[in-house]
């Protein structure tokens, strides 16, 4: 096999045909001319000279080289474009086999060569996927986000506006000379520093762990423009290593702070599995299981947007903290804490974690306790987002009448009535449970350009009030 020195017309002369042999220079790029009779004799010469296991082995061998070589005309298989490649492959096999090899020896050599080629293939694929692993992780995070943002209740809703910055969060080493932070600040300012509240950016997601200095800078931006910053902790392998990082000299020692701007920051603990590993991906020191895990912040942002679209900001109240519905597109999380561990993470450390509920579904859960902070209840990010949203809406109405002579009619028409309509609409949507709004119509204050207003809002979330009554059956007379 692979030797074409005697192939020029030999198979035509074996049948006594006195004509010019077929030209086989097509294998070198020229045109190939083959008659049907020549085609038949070629097959007979290859397969017909043997019988039994040897014939079967030859057929399997040629089928492995080219699937159509068993029953298709050779002229349709070996085109001028593919003939050179095929000859190289046949020559490789011809260099492996010897004339003296038995059937078992030939198969063993072919199996060894195939195993070697498969090893090269697996090594190439492993190195390729290792190079593109970061890009693949980003795309799969986006896929999980869109998987979770969909409500799926049959109702038509406005799409979620989604902006992507092509940047690597791990490259943000400090908060001073980061072009990414500067670009984010300028973009958010262009959208939120405007009278059109419909184009406000509400959530800022930074997947992966960033240093404290960078997170505080992003936290300042989120607090200044009324956004919620969503980030991640590191990819900790288990709960023990995660809890240890909250201790003294740990990476998360100062994650929880009693500051007002900390209300604009929420952190998700634990990575989620984005896909199973491929057969050619092998565990190593940095990736023990070789599965592809990624930060859960984008998935959490999708669940957050889904609950907003469903109930206008309403989020299901769980027995401990808040639950954010079923997590779609993910079957496993790196850390799935138990009840006591979840209480420690959500209430003491004030991070969001992924738990597996009684229905074997993954859900996000979190809490902002009042520990070490008398205003902690206001810093729960659900209430915070609602209050900041209403604050921005009211600020827009006030800016409309700024530097204008204030009169009662003007204030009632352009300030009081729009605010009350907005509050009633949010109450119907379920964003708030109730409100108390009043304003001072004193003419002297209005003449001085002073407008006093009082607003009390009861948003959804931990500010809910529950009335619990326990009925104890009365004992009948004579019972102990």
C-beta of residue 452 within 8 angstroms of C-beta of residue 445: yes
In whole angstroms, how far apart are CA 406 and each of 395, 403, 421, 422, 448? Answer: 16, 9, 21, 21, 8
Q: Please give the chain's pLDDT, 480 residues, in tens.
A: 334 444 444 444 444 434 444 444 434 444 444 454 545 545 555 555 555 666 666 666 666 656 666 666 666 666 766 767 766 666 666 677 788 888 898 889 888 888 888 888 888 888 888 888 888 999 999 999 998 888 877 777 777 788 888 888 888 888 888 888 999 999 999 988 876 767 888 889 999 999 888 998 998 998 888 888 899 999 998 999 999 998 888 888 888 776 767 777 888 998 999 988 888 887 776 666 778 899 999 998 888 777 666 654 444 444 344 566 678 888 899 999 988 888 888 877 888 889 888 888 888 887 765 445 554 444 555 666 677 788 888 888 888 887 788 888 998 999 999 999 999 988 887 778 888 899 888 888 888 888 888 888 877 654 434 344 455 555 555 555
Q: What is the 3-state secondary structure (H, E, C) of the chain?
A: CCCCCCCCCHHHHCCCCCCCCCCCHHHHCCCCCCCHHHHHHHHHHHHHCCCCHHHHHHHHHHHHHCHHHCCCCHHHHCCHHHHHHHHHHHHHHHHHCCCCCCHHHHHHHHHHHHHHHHHHHHHHHHHHHHHCHHHHHHHHHHHHHHHHHCCCCCCCCCCCCCCCCCCCHHHCCCCCCCHHHHHHHHHHHHHHCCCCHHHCCCEEECCCCCCHHHHHHHHHHHHHCCCEEEEECCCCCCHHHHHHCCCCCCCCCCCCCCCHHHHHEEEEECCEEEECCCCCCCCCCCCCCCCEEECCHHHHHHHHHHHHHHHCCCCCECCCCEEEEECCCCCCECCCCCHHHHHHHHHHCCCEEEEECCCCCEEEEECCCCCCCCCHHHHCHHHHHHHHHHHHHHHHHHHHCCCCCCCHHHHHHHHHHHHHHHHHHHHHHCCEEEEEEEECCCHHHHHCCCCCEEEEEEECCCCCCCCCCCCCCCCCCCCC
pLDDT tens for 204-241 read 999 999 988 899 899 899 888 888 889 999 999 899 99
């Amino acid at each position: 096999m692979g030797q074409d020195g005697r192939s020029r017309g030999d198979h035509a002369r074996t049948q006594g045909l006195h004509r010019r042999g077929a030209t086989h220079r097509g294998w070198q790029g020229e045109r190939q001319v083959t008659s049907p009779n020549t085609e038949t004799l070629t097959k007979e010469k290859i397969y017909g000279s043997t019988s039994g296991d040897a014939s079967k082995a030859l057929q399997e061998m040629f089928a492995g080289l080219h699937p159509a070589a068993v029953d298709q005309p050779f002229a349709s298989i070996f085109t001028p474009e593919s003939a050179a490649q095929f000859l190289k492959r046949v020559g490789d096999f011809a260099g492996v086999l010897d004339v003296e090899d038995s059937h078992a020896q030939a198969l063993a050599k072919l199996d060894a060569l195939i195993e070697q080629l498969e090893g090269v293939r697996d090594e190439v694929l492993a190195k390729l996927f290792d190079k593109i692993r970061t890009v693949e992780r980003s795309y799969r995070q986006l896929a999980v986000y869109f998987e979770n943002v969909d409500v799926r209740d049959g109702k038509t809703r406005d799409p979620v506006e989604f902006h992507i910055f092509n940047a690597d969060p791990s490259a943000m080493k400090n908060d001073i000379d980061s072009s990414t932070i500067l670009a984010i600040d300028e973009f958010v300012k262009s959208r939120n520093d405007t009278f059109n509240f419909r184009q406000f950016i509400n959530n800022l997601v930074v997947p992966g762990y960033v240093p404290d200095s960078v997170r505080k800078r992003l936290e300042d931006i989120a607090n200044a423009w009324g956004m919620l910053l969503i980030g991640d902790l590191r990819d900790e392998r288990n709960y023990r290593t995660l809890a240890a990082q909250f201790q003294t000299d740990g990476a998360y020692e100062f994650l929880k702070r009693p500051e007002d701007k900390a209300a604009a920051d929420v952190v998700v603990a634990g990575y989620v599995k984005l896909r199973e590993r491929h057969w050619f991906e092998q565990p190593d020191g940095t990736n023990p299981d070789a599965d592809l895990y990624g930060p859960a912040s984008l998935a959490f942002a999708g669940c957050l947007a889904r609950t907003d679209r469903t109930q206008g900001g309403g989020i299901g109240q769980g027995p401990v903290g808040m639950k954010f519905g079923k997590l779609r597109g993910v079957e496993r999380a790196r850390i799935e804490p138990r009840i006591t561990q979840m209480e420690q993470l959500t209430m003491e450390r004030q991070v969001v974690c992924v738990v597996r509920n009684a229905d074997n579904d993954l859900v996000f859960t979190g809490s902002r306790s009042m520990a070490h902070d008398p205003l902690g209840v206001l810093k729960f990010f659900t209430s915070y987002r609602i209050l900041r949203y209403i604050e921005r809406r009211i600020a827009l109405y006030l800016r409309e009448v700024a530097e204008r002579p204030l009169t009662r009619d003007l204030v009632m028409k352009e300030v009081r009535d729009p605010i009350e309509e907005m509050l009633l609409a949010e109450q119907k949507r379920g964003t708030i449970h109730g409100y108390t709004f009043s304003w001072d119509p004193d003419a002297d204050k209005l003449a001085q350009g002073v407008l006093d207003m009082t607003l009390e809002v009861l948003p959804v979330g931990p500010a809910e009030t529950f009335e619990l009554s326990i009925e104890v059956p009365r004992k009948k007379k004579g019972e102990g």
